[in-house]
Every structure is written in C-alpha cells, then in structure tokens.
Amino acid sequence: MNTPTPRKTAALALAAAGLLSLVGCSGGGREYAVPHRICEVPMPSSAVEPLLPDGKKLHQSRRLIDDDGTVTGCQTAVVDGPLAVSVDITELDKPLTEDDRHSSLESLEHARNIHMGGTHWAVQGDNRLHLSTPCGTKAADSLSFRFSFAKEAEGTEVTRDTTLRFAEEFVQGEKKKEGCTAS
C-alpha cells in the first residue's frame, strides 16, 4: 500500500496552494465572449478584444442622445464595472471645421493630429479620439465620431495603436451601416 508520508502530503499541499495563488493573481478574467458587434456595428474580435476589461458580463447600448435624432450614443461596459468603449456619432449637414479640430487638440490629453484614411481630420489623445469623416447621404453630409476608451481597466490594453485600430474598423462599419456613399 502506498501511504503518503507527512513530507509528501506537505509538498502536495504546498503545490496546490501555489496553483491557487496563481489563479487568484490572474484576477477575475474575462468571463464573457468577445462580441462580434459593438453598438450594432460588425467588428473583428482582434480590434475589440484588447479594449475589453475583465468581468462577468458585458452590456451594450445604442440610443439617440438628442431630440432631432442626429446624435447617437453607444456604450459598451462590463456590468458593475468600467465603461470599456463609448462612442458619440453625430450626423452633420457639413464637415467639422479646422476650428473644431483645433478644439479637439486642446481638449484631449496629449493630443496630436493623426492620419486616418477617409476622414477630413482625426485627433488622438491618450484614451480618446475625435474625427470628422464624409458620408454623402441625404441625412448626413458628414459624420463626427467621439471615442472614449477605459483607461487602466484590468485586462485591457488601451494603447494608441489599439484605439486607432478599433476606431478605423468602427468608422468603416458605421459608414456602411448608415449607407454613406462618400469615401
């Protein structure tokens, strides 16, 4: 009969405690699936996953913000947790101006102008991004996007590269969804 000795029992207990502490150190983790749509816009998981924080359940909403229906707000958040992504989309009868771009540069932390194909202009800060893009429909000559991303949320990788990649994919998807004809 192979009876464990006190030394073997202690070693097994220590190994089990070590494994439990490793599991505990990894945080709660992400218990929800990475969505294939953000605010009703199809998105590749590779653009979404780095920006989603740890948590049990993800909640998304898309609603009109103003009475005339020209501003839509979208939010993706972990239930009882941080707001992961927030986007305000505004339908405009003309593009945002250089004064608007300058205001964005002044209002965003560590802001700089960036090149983003298919836009009038784009300004990126540490965890926010503003841009104006042509649309070309009867309802909207142009669209304005204001993105905000969770900063320092557990499980996220909010970098300028990941937020720009998300914004590029989201803008393309939203323009397609809105039936924009201008590129």
pLDDT digits (tens, 9 = 90+) for 44-55: 999 999 999 999
pLDDT in the model for residue 69 = 83
CA-CA-CA-CA dihedral for 123, 128, 134, 135, to nearest 10 = 180
CA distances from 131 to 7, 49, 180 (A): 65, 22, 16
C-alpha closest to that of 168 among 141, 135, 131: 131
Helices H, strands E: what count in the chain? 4, 9
pTM beyond 0.75: the answer is yes
* Residues in contact with 60: Cβ distance below 8 Å, sequence separation at least 6, in sequence order: 35, 38, 39, 74, 75, 76, 77
CA distances from 16 to 2, 19, 45, 85 (A): 20, 5, 35, 38
- pLDDT, mean of residues 80-89: 92
pLDDT digits (tens, 9 = 90+) for 127-147: 999 999 999 999 999 999 999
pLDDT in the model for residue 68 = 85
> Cα angle vertex 25, ends 22, 27, to 5°?
125
